[in-house]
Structure 1
Amino acid sequence: MLLWISGPFGGGKTQTAYEMHRRLPGSIVCDPEHVGFGLHRMLPPGLRGDFQDLAAWRQGVVEVLDLALTEHDGVVIAPMTVTDSGYFAETVGRLRGLGHDVHHFTLLAERGTVLRRLHERGLGHVLRYVAGKDAGLRRESWAVEQLDRCLERLREPEFAEHLWTDHTTVPKTADRIAVLAGLTLKPNNEGALRTRLRQAGVGTRHIRFD
């Protein structure tokens, strides 16, 4: 089974993926971004656009996930946002066409909620330091510049199942996904402090500088 978790940058997809991995024995996280950033490193900076525009990325993601799903005896979790209908068909659609059990979930939140989460995890402060203290978050971050378009596209029916996360936690979102996918997670017995520390670690490990 493949759990493909989508959502805007700052929407919680990576945190949710690793929460499910923590509580779902035998599961693995296969992040399609790794394929994209590997391709970027092979190109000169001037040619590093959106890696999803590269056919090599779409083909590579399908090949890697197909291999993992075929050979790994456990659930595969892929945190990745694809908003282009054609690219969605070439990745999620192709994996379904290959006969895999694919469950696609989009984590949504109001624009203000996403921006608040970005600020809370410190991204805004880091970016303002790099860009200059008077630079706004929208101007500093490509992800924020794409936020409105991303949220609008992800609300479309083709990107269901939609899960609104404004008033819930990452562990509870993971619980909801598990129920919808027919899975059973280990109980969440962490205290609040340990959860915050673990999630901070996940966030730090996934800061991208490419």
Structure 2
Amino acid sequence: MNILNDFKDLDPNNPGLWPVSVKAILFIVIFVALLFAGWKFDITKQRDELAGLERQEQEKIEVLKLKQRKAANLNALKEQMKEMEISFGDMVRQLPNATEVAGLLVDISQTGLSAGLEFKLFEPQPEEPKEFYAVLPIKIKVHGDYHKFGEFISGLARLPRIVTTHNVDLKVNPLFKNSGTAYSELEMEMIAQTYRALDEDEEEEQ
């Protein structure tokens, strides 16, 4: 009760005359308040630091995951590159060199003759040089029926060298148009393209 009376009788304008007990209690309250404020500030600071460390850790994890994905993609890309190099090498090996072109032209014409076609035109065109190979177009005009044409095209696809067909045009053989008979023979015009590998000197010129 004395302490309560001491608080009631306090003169706020003259704290120097306050009783020792009141001063002690106020000192303890202020000290505890300061301790609590310091503790709360320290805890808040530690929480902020912890949150920052967690963010940094998460960022490092994401960077690591990204690097792992890139590494996995890089390995897959290397495998694809190896497969492409092998496939490309196989294709290049199918390209004849300059000394083999004449034999390939004979193979193309022989394929048509074996299919029963009658050649009206077999005219190699000037080469078209590319980066590492040259295109060899051949104008072809043959007479025959659908079955023979199909056999010819299939035969070209079976040749050991690459031969492609372009601008294929089928029409009735002009000799049969006014004959009064059913059209049994057709005329086919097309461009057959084969390819040859350039030698080192030719590649340097490109």
TM-score category, normalised to shorter length: under 0.3
Q: Which has the higher contact order (CA 8 A, sep 6+)?
A: 1
**TM-score, scaled relative to structure 2:** 0.19
Greater share of strand residues, 1 or 2? 2
**TM-score, scaled relative to structure 1:** 0.19
